[in-house]
Amino acid sequence: MEHNYDVVRINSDKSQGIRVQALVEEICDRFNLHNYFGIFSVVADEIMNSITESLQIDKASFYADFIFEQCVGGVSFSFKSNQEVFSSVSEITELLANEYTIQEEGRNIELIFYVNGIDEVELKERQDKIKEFFRKKSAISCVISYGN
């Protein structure tokens, strides 16, 4: 029997992204959501970057629960933290998540992705947005590394 709820506790260390990505991959395997792996993993990376790059949090005591839940028509990923860290989301997160909600004065963020009933055109548009995002990010990285 498949379970539809998982939690991974993370801290603010960059290496915790591996644990988050492992859960995203496992969810995609378990629920046959392989077409959504790129979308989920990019958004999870963006949230992890907001945590690891935050100057507001006390990194020594920070923790967050990364929560997956299967919902009717989709999936939900939440980060519930013990400190205020989420004041906004990145442009790519806003483009790829069907819904997002920042709660508890910035301590929690919930991301909802529709996977049942999403049409092929919308899925293709999202995948194209991911490709464009990485092209831009790669171009910026090249300019920075060659500029030094």
> Do you know the residue count of the chain?
148
Q: Which domains does the chain have, with CATH numbers?
A: 5-118 (3.30.565.10)
Distance CA 36, CA 57 (A): 31
Per-residue pLDDT, 37 = 92
Q: Is 102 helix (H, G, I), strand (E, B) or coil?
A: strand
CA 24 to each of CA 14, 124, 131, 146: distance values in angstroms, whole numbers, following the listed order:
16, 20, 19, 34
In order along its 148 residues, the chain shows pLDDT tens digits of 456 889 999 999 999 999 999 999 999 999 889 889 999 999 999 999 999 999 899 999 999 999 999 888 889 999 999 999 999 998 889 989 999 999 999 999 999 998 876 667 877 887 888 888 888 877 766 655 555 5
